[in-house]
Amino acid sequence: MKNRYIILSILLFSVACRKFEPYPVFSKLALKKAFVDLGTHKLATFSVIRNSNYLVVFESGLGDDHTIWNSSNIALKAADTIDVVTYDRANRGQSGNGPVPRDVARLQSELGSVIDSFANGRKVVLIGHSLGGFMIRAWAVNNPTKVAGMLFIDPSHEKAGLDSAQNQQAEDYMYGKWSSYGTNFGAALESREWVEDNMYMATLGNLPDVPVIVLTAMKVDPPNKVEILKPWYDAHESLGTGVTDFTHVSIPNSGHMVMIDQPQILLNYIHVLLAKLH
C-alpha cells in the first residue's frame, strides 16, 4: 500500500516539480486571442475558428495554462481540420483572478462559459489532461446533449486508490508546492479543493454515450512495477461505464505529461476521435 501511494502521488504531483513556463508556438497558423467576460473576471482564450461542424476545447491540468497545448503545436495541428479553443483558467496565464473557492463545480461552469462563447450551437469535443479531466467530465455529465466526443489524457479520478486521509495528504502536498508561486496562484487555489473535488466527482453519473478515448500513462520508476498502477488504470477503465464507443489505451513509454513525452501518440488519438464524428 505504501508503494502504491508513492506512485499515485507521483502521478498527481509530477507537474509540480517542473519549472512553470509557457511553451512557444511554431506554426503558420495562429491562435487568435480574445477574452470571455464572466462579470467577476475575464478568461483569456486562444482559438482558430473557421466554422467547422464541431468545436474542440482543450482543458489543461493543475499546473498548466493554455500554453501546454503549444507543446509540439498540438492545438494548431488539430486546428488543421477543426475549430479549436484553448484558454487559461482564472488566476493563471493571461486570465484575471476569479472568486473562490476554485473548485470543480465552479471551474466546470466557467469552462461552460468558454464553450458557449465559441460553440455557436455546435457540439463540442472535449480534451482534458490530469485535473482537466475532472472539469471536462463534470461539464459533460451536466450537459450531455452538447458533447460530441471526449479524450482524457491521464485524467485525475476519485477512484484512483487514495483513501480520505491520503487525499488530504495529497492536497496539503500540492498546496505546499504550488503556493510557492503565491497563495493566489491558480494551481494553489485549485489544489486546496482536492478533497472536496474528489467527493464532488463521486456524486456524478456516467459520461454521455459519445465516443470516448482515455490515454493512461504507464511509465513508472522503478521499471517492472506497472502493477502498482493498477488502481490508476482501473479508475480510467471505469470511465467507459455506459459508453458504447469506448477506447482505453495504455501508453507504457510515457509519463503523466503525455503531450510532452509522446505528443505524436496524443495527436494520433485526437484524429482517431475526430474521425469517429464523420
Other C-beta atoms lying within 10 Å of the C-beta of residue 213: 21
pTM greater than 0.85: yes
- Cα separation, 19 vs 15, in Å, equals 8
Angle at CA 59, nearest 5°, toward 53 and 63?
165
User: What are the structural domains, with CATH classification, of the chain?
Assistant: 2-275 (3.40.50.1820)
CA atoms within 13 A on the CB side of 97: 7
pLDDT tens for the 278 residues of the chain, in order:
444 544 455 455 554 444 455 656 555 578 999 999 999 999 999 999 999 999 999 999 999 999 999 989 999 999 999 999 999 999 999 999 999 999 999 999 999 999 999 999 999 999 999 999 999 999 999 999 999 999 999 999 999 888 889 999 999 999 999 999 999 999 999 999 999 999 999 999 999 999 999 999 998 765 555 567 889 999 999 999 999 999 999 999 999 999 999 999 999 999 999 999 97
Q: How far is CA 69 from CA 58, 72, 104, 139, 207, in A?
A: 8, 8, 21, 20, 24
